């Protein structure tokens, strides 16, 4: 158990180096990535959604768990960050979407997803209902940064607390709060009603 990360995706290092040059400080960590890889592997032929691609660090983990029949939509508003992901992750299973996820979530009408990694405000603190409505029953909804982080803006802690309470009170999801990484909540959708 000493070596937790013996399986870092091959693309990870290149993406991390490019990300460092941009001083991007919102990257998902290795623990989150490793968990995403394992969860993605549980969805054979799965449809996966990532909201907030960033430069593609978590994306590299997700695709390393996916089988050949699985597909990933990943949505990012920042074209500079998305370009790093696209340059480093040339994989036909990925659809890169350069769009505001507030708009994308409201307009998406296609098939639902088996796993959603919600790593931007839209789909997490905003438009949570819309994101959850895109998840199949039995699907995973995953969020990180749920423990206090140095880059949280003023007032964010209260928002996090309220969001966690909301998740705890819902009847359509079952959740586990992991005091691990930056604080992860892993939810499974169990019904379509609230
Ligand atoms: C926490 S970071 C994502 C980190 C990324 N998952 C990783 O593995 O490093 C949040 C990302 O959401 C993006 N973002 C913020 N607002 C957005 C919006 N309205 N629509 C789409 N992406 C957005 C940011 O540009 C940023 O890259």
pTM greater than 0.85 (yes/no): yes
Residue 37 CA, chain-centre distance (Å), reads 11
| pLDDT mean across residues, the chain | 96
Q: Is the CB of 149 under 6 A from ligand 1?
A: no
Six-digit token pair at 72? 């990933």
Residue pLDDT, tens place only, 146-170:
999 998 999 999 999 999 999 999 9
Question: Is the model's pLDDT at 25 over the cut of 80?
Answer: yes
- Ligand 1 centroid to residue 119 C-alpha, Å: 6
The CA distance from 68 to 165, in Å, is 37
Q: Which of 16, 49, 7 is nearest to 135 (CA)?
A: 49
The minimum-distance atom of ligand 1 relative to the CA of 102 is 19
pLDDT of residue 193: 75
From ligand 1's centre to the CA of 143, what distance in Å?
Answer: 12
181 Cβ inside 6 Å of ligand 1: no
**Residue 35 to residues 65, 72, 75, Cα–Cα distance (Å):** 10, 16, 20
């Amino acid at each position: 158990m000493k070596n937790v990360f013996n399986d870092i995706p091959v693309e990870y290092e290149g993406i991390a180096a490019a990300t460092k040059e941009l001083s991007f400080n919102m990257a998902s960590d290795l623990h989150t990535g490793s968990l995403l890889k394992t969860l993605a592997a549980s969805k054979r032929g799965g449809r996966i959604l990532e909201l907030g691609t960033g430069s593609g660090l978590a994306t590299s983990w997700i695709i390393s768990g996916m089988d050949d029949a699985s597909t990933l939509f990943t949505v990012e508003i920042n074209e500079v960050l998305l370009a790093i992901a696209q340059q480093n992750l040339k994989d036909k299973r990925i659809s890169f979407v350069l769009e505001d996820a507030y708009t994308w979530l409201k307009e998406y009408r296609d098939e639902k997803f088996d796993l959603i990694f919600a790593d931007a405000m839209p789909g997490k603190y905003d438009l949570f209902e819309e994101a959850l409505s895109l998840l199949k029953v039995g699907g995973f909804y995953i969020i990180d940064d749920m423990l206090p982080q140095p880059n949280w803006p003023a007032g964010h802690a209260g928002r996090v607390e309220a969001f966690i309470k909301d998740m705890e009170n819902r009847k359509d999801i079952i959740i586990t709060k992991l005091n691990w990484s930056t604080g992860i909540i892993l939810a499974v959708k169990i019904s379509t009603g609230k």
